[in-house]
Amino acid sequence: MEQADLEKELDTLDLESVSVRSREALRELLWALLYGCIEEKIRAAYEIAVLTKSSAKRRAYLAAAGAISPLVSMLSSSSVEAQDASMEALLNLAIKHERNKVKIVKAGAVPILVELMRLENASLRESAAAVILTLSASNANKPLIGSSGATALLVDILLCGSVQGRVDAVMALYNLSTHHDNLMPILDAGGIAPLILLLKECRKASKVAEKTTALLQSLMVFEEARSAIAAEEGGVLTLVEVLEEGSLQSREHAVSALLIMCQSSRCKYRQAILQEGVIPGLLELTVQGTVGAKQKAKSLLQLLRDPPRSTRSSSPAVLKSIAYDISSHVDSPESDSVSAKKMLTDMVQVSTEQSVHCLQKSNHKYST
């Protein structure tokens, strides 16, 4: 693009969207990005990163003016500073801007970002992962990113990256996992162990725990994932802890994952789930969980019975029966079984009282 052409292109754009910049300054900024020496390109990229950090209008304007293609080209520079500057600019151009996410991928950014994620430079690796995270939020980009080799590299960062790097990696993996074809590569890369480790370490009610548990639930469709979680030290226990301490969504993901395990092979997974003390959390979930979590908790309680009963009832009486049935097989002779059963009975009582309250409200509604 010649300078005259660039000026003509700028003249057709909405300059009000970047009112903090003069027309002359914008022209110089984009010209430096396209034709300047490496130092000028770096300065221009960093300036674009600042301009677009908090302005959707500036993101749209600068992308329309042609900033994306030269920034993608800078990713291949031999200068680490140029690579860093271009990633920062691309990241800010893509945040909360679907069209720019797609443009960046179409400009060829993904293969270069994947190569940057292979480098020994940890800072560049994690910066590239952060850009991949943002780009992976677009459904249109998920198949290409998933087939690019990025998945295994994200798992590597999940295993040995910084705190922020691991968070970005798991969020990117979650985004990619919503495209079904991207699930098996996560397993093939050995994703279960680092996911469980991250879940152990993070606060169970956090957004990170929610996305990690959702990802584990998605992976449960594969027997390889179910076996890996059961074999991982503390794997099932960690899901039980999320079921007890997580956010409403996290608890539903956790009970869903455990239910899928037990449904796939009751003989193989029932005892592994029982021995981690899941019953109190399940009983609480039948009262306090989301609609989906309540139903799944009741279904899992039925499966954990010995022997299982073919009943669809979820009344408090049935829950109480399940609780006693299970506790009689879980409590050891040395344990205080009376105390354990009292705790379960108390939890069932909460369910009974809530059911009665709902029934009374319903009767009052129809009588008035």
pLDDT tens digits for range 158-216: 999 999 999 999 999 999 999 999 999 999 999 999 999 999 999 999 999 999 999 99
**Global pTM?**
0.83
Q: How many helical (H) and strand (E) elements, i.e. helices and strands, does the chain have?
A: 23, 0
Is the pLDDT assigned to residue 345 strictly greater than 60? no
Distance (Å) of CA 154 to CA 30, 48, 73, 84, 186: 33, 27, 23, 18, 9
Q: What rounded mean pLDDT belongs to the chain?
A: 85
Contact status, residue 9 vs residue 31, Cβ threshold 8 Å: no
pLDDT tens digits for range 244-299: 999 999 999 999 999 999 999 999 999 999 999 999 999 999 999 999 999 999 99
pLDDT tens digits for range 215-233: 999 999 999 999 999 999 9
Q: pLDDT category, 305, cuts 50, 70, 90? A: confident
DSSP state of 141: G
Compute how many other C-beta atoms are within 10 angstroms of the C-beta atom of residue 319.
Answer: 25
Between 158 and 326, whose confidence is greater? 158
DSSP 3-51: HHHHHHHHHTS-GGGGTTS-HHHHHHHHHHHHHS-HHHHHHHHHHHHHH
> SS3 breakdown of the chain: % helix, strand, coil, rounded to 5?
75, 0, 25
